Amino acid sequence: MKKPMIFGVAGLIAAVGIGFAVFTFVLGGKGDPAEAAAHEPAVPVNVPGKVGPRVTTADRVFNLKSPANDPKYLKMQATIEFETSDPLWAWVLGGCKGKQPKPAKHGAVLAPASAPMVSADPSSLRAARPEVDEEAASEPICVATEKTLVTQFEEELGTGKSVIEDIVTTVVTRHTFDEISSPGGKEKLKGEILDAIEQVMHEPKVVRVLFTNFVSQ
C-alpha cells in the first residue's frame, strides 16, 4: 500500500530537479545583466566631423628626396587621431549634452613596441574631472574641456610624441615631390604614416592622419 506514495514522492523530486535544471540553464544562463554589461568591450567613440584624442606635430619644413641641384621641400603639419572609449570624450564630441561623466582611468596610453615606454608615472595621472585653468574658464565648457583633455592626452603620451615626430620625418623625407604632390599621393602618404606608427606603438589604435598644413615647393 506504501509503494504508490513512494513512487509519487520520487516523481515529485524528479520534477523539481528537472524544473531547477531548466531554470538554471535556460532562464538563468544569461546571468546578472549588470555584471555582463561590465565585461562587454567598450565601444569606441565615433562622432562624424569631430576629432578625438590627438597629437599635432610641429609645423615644419621637410627636405624631400631630390637632386642636390634641384632641392624640393614640403611644409607640413599633421594631426594623428587615436581611438578612445572614454565617456568624457564621448560627452565632449557629442556637444556636451546631459550630465558631465567622469573620465576613464588609464595610465600611459602608448608604448613603443621595440622598447619600454618612458612616460609619466601612471599614479600621477589625473583620473578626476579635468581641471580648467582661469583663462579657459571664460570659454564654453565644451571648448575648455576638450583643450584640457588634449593636453592630458599629450602628457600621458610622454616621450611617445617624440617617437611620432621621428616616424613622420622618416616617412615624409623618403618621398619625391612628384610622389606626394597629387591628391592621391597625399592620401597614400597618410596611410604610410598611419601604418608606420602602428608598427611601433602598441595602443591605442590610430584612427586616422590629417594634414592641417601641406605646401610642397
CA 162/CA 50 separation, integer angstroms: 25
Among candidates 103, 100, 117, 208, which has minimal Cα distance to 158?
Answer: 117
> How far is Cα 146 from Cα 184, in angstroms, rounded to an integer?
32
pLDDT on residue 184: 97
* Residue 9 and residue 76 share a domain: no
CA–CA distance, 39 with 44 (Å, rounded to integer): 15
pLDDT in tens, 29-55: 555 554 554 556 679 999 999 999 999
Quick one: 98 and 123 in the same domain?
A: yes
User: Which of 50, 43, 23, 69 has its CA nearest to residue 208?
Assistant: 50
Considering its fold, how many domains does the chain have in total? 2
Residue 184 inside a domain? The answer is yes
Q: Which residues of the chain have pLDDT under 70?
A: 1-41, 105-138
67 and 148 belong to one structural domain: yes
Same domain, 73 and 12: no
Residue 17 shares a structural domain with residue 119: no
Q: What's the number of CA atoms in the CB half-sphere (13 Å) around residue 12? A: 6
Phi, psi of 210 (to 5 degrees): -120, 145
What is the predicted pLDDT for the residue at 118? 40
- For 151, list phi and psi in degrees, rounded to 5: -60, -45
Residues 129 and 200 grouped into a single domain = yes
Residue 92 lies inside a defined structural domain of this protein: yes
Q: What is the pLDDT of residue 104?
A: 72
Q: Are residues 89 and 28 in the same domain?
A: no
The confidence score (pLDDT) of residue 122 equals 38
Measured distance CA(54)–CA(77) in Å, rounded: 13
Percentages helix, strand, coil for the chain (3-state, rounded to 5) are: 45, 15, 40
Q: Does 58 share its domain with 23?
A: no
pLDDT of the residue at 69: 95
Range of the domain at 134: 54-216
Q: What is the pLDDT of residue 145?
A: 95
Residues in a beta bridge with 80: 55, 209
Give the pLDDT confidence score for residue 130 in this predicted structure. 52
Which residues, other chains included, contact 30 with Cβ-Cβ below 8 Å and sequence gap of 6+?
Answer: 36
Backbone region of residue 100 per phi and psi (left: phi > 0; alpha: psi in -120 to 50; beta: other values)? beta
How many Å apart are CA 104 and CA 186, to the nearest integer?
Answer: 35
48 within a domain of the structure (yes/no):
no
